[in-house]
Amino acid sequence: MKRLYRRNDDRVLGGVCSGLGEHLGLDPLLIRVVFVVLGMVNGIGVLLYALMWALVPSATDAGSDQRQIMRHNVQEMRGRARELAGDARGAVNQGVSSGNRAVLAGAVLIGAGLLFLLRTLHPLAWLSKLWPLLVVAVGVILVAQSLRGRD
């Protein structure tokens, strides 16, 4: 029987989607889209991805026991989170230092206004709508940074 592994060569975050794609014989992009859609459903996709990242061994950890795999995977998650936070911090600092303070202030005001608007719709409804807004915001930041890097 074919075992499930996280791939190290075709990964965006932890290699979960590319490993699942290889295991199931599906395109990893399709699986990534499924995780994003599930992430918008009260964060289920994010939780499922994190659990799989913690529990599924990478291709290089094939012979280890489950405790060692989990310990290694959690350390890998922590390191990747720090790397992404540093990238985001650098992007924000670069944007602020290059004279985009008005854009940053405007984005903060837009985000705060959207949160206030969602809060007035229903007392707890805004919590379930926060995930999609965060996903959209991160997507906009990534696209903007990518486009800025090409100029």
Helices (H), the chain: 16-24, 28-40, 44-55, 66-97, 101-121, 125-150
Considering the chain, what is the average pLDDT of its residues? 76
Are residues 95 and 107 in contact, defined by beta-carbon separation less than 8 angstroms? Answer: no
Confidence of residue 58 (pLDDT cuts 50, 70, 90): confident
Q: What is d(CA 39, CA 5) in angstroms, rounded to the nearest whole number?
A: 22
Confidence of residue 42 (pLDDT cuts 50, 70, 90): low
- Separation in Å, CA 140 to CA 7, 50, 133: 27, 23, 10
Q: What is d(CA 97, CA 91) in angstroms, rounded to the nearest whole number?
A: 10
Q: Is the pTM of this model over 0.75?
A: no
Q: What is the pLDDT of residue 70?
A: 84
Mean pLDDT of 71-88: 83
Are residues 45 and 38 in contact, defined by beta-carbon separation less than 8 angstroms? Answer: yes
103-144, pLDDT tens digit by residue?
Answer: 666 677 777 777 666 666 655 555 566 667 666 777 677 667
Q: What is the pLDDT of residue 4?
A: 84
Mean pLDDT of 31-45: 81
Of 80, 116, 88, give the one whose Cα is nearest residue 104.
88
Share of the chain above pLDDT 90, in %: 0
Mean pLDDT of 82-97: 73
Q: What is d(CA 8, CA 15) in angstroms, rounded to the nearest whole number?
A: 6
